Amino acid sequence: MISQLPLALRWPRRQRFEHFHPGSNVVTLSAVEQLAYAPHMPWLYLAGPSGSGKSHLLMAACQAAIQGGRTVQYLPLASIGNKAAAIRGVAGSEFLALDDLGAIAGEREAEHALFDVYNQAKAEGAVLLFAAEILPAQLGLVLPDLRSRLGACQQALLKPLDDAERRAVLRKQAAERGIELDDTVLDWLFNRYARDLGALLDLLDRLDQASLAAQRRITVPFLRGFLKESEPGS
């Protein structure tokens, strides 16, 4: 059951508001923070492509709501088998965050389950926060009433950070660890490694440990050897 997962597994340490790098998404970040801290704000539907930070914001909002004393559930629908049962299972929580909403499109039972949970949450004064890659009207939902309910939520678009913004974040995070990443290293990294910011920051954590253990600076040869050893095919 989702509710039985240890908090350390449910809420990764980096998935907090203070670790979100908004770029051009300042207004959207503010809207999510307000929803997490103020129960009576309009429900929110986040739309944006993979890597734009949707899951980060949903989990950050859940952690903030927990700190505010509310009961919370987070559902990553794309990774759940019986989606209808999982959705019905979170009914009654005070703060619900449903991620990857497009995963239920066309699954009539799951759509009906979400419609029922939506109505129950509205009646009980709970808060719903949704995320998907596209807007409700584009999801391909078969239940018109659910499409209408989702369309009535406040909608916010998320844009991924561009390469210059990712570079700036990575350089800043490295500097805070006492690591200097020169342009040659960043050029090599961005040309050959996943550009998702979360993946890049996780890599930086591992590089920091490896460079300290080897007592070496992070250079292109060091980076090439590290990736070859730790991630064959990179």
CATH number given to 2-157:
3.40.50.300
Residues 6+ apart with CB under 8 A from 142: 105, 106, 108, 111
Q: What is the pLDDT of residue 118?
A: 96
> What does the domain layout of the chain look like in residue ranges?
2-157, 163-230
Full-model pTM: 0.81
Edge-to-edge order in the sheet of strand 127-132: 72-76, 95-99, 127-132, 44-47, 154-157
Q: What is the pLDDT of residue 94?
A: 94
Query: Closest by alpha carbon to 105, among 54, 70, 140?
Result: 140
Query: Closest by alpha carbon to 11, among 51, 71, 58, 78?
Result: 58
Q: What is the pLDDT of residue 104?
A: 96
List b or e across 140-175, with b for residues whose CB sees 16 or more CB atoms inside 10 angstroms. Answer: ebebeebbebbeebebbebebbeeebbbebbbebbe
Q: What is the pLDDT of residue 8?
A: 39
pLDDT one-digit tens code per residue, 110-151: 999 999 999 999 999 999 999 999 999 999 999 999 999 999
pLDDT one-digit tens code per residue, 23-38: 899 999 999 999 999 8
Torsion of CA 5, 132, 130, 22, to 10 degrees: 90
List b or e across 183-196, with b for residues whose CB sees 16 or more CB atoms inside 10 angstroms. Answer: eebbebbeeeeebb
Residues 6+ apart with CB under 8 A from 90: 2, 3, 73, 75, 96, 117
pLDDT, averaged in runs of 10, over the chain (234 residues): 41 78 93 90 94 92 92 93 93 94 96 96 95 95 95 94 88 87 89 77 87 89 86 55
Count of C-beta atoms within a 10 Å radius of residue 139: 22
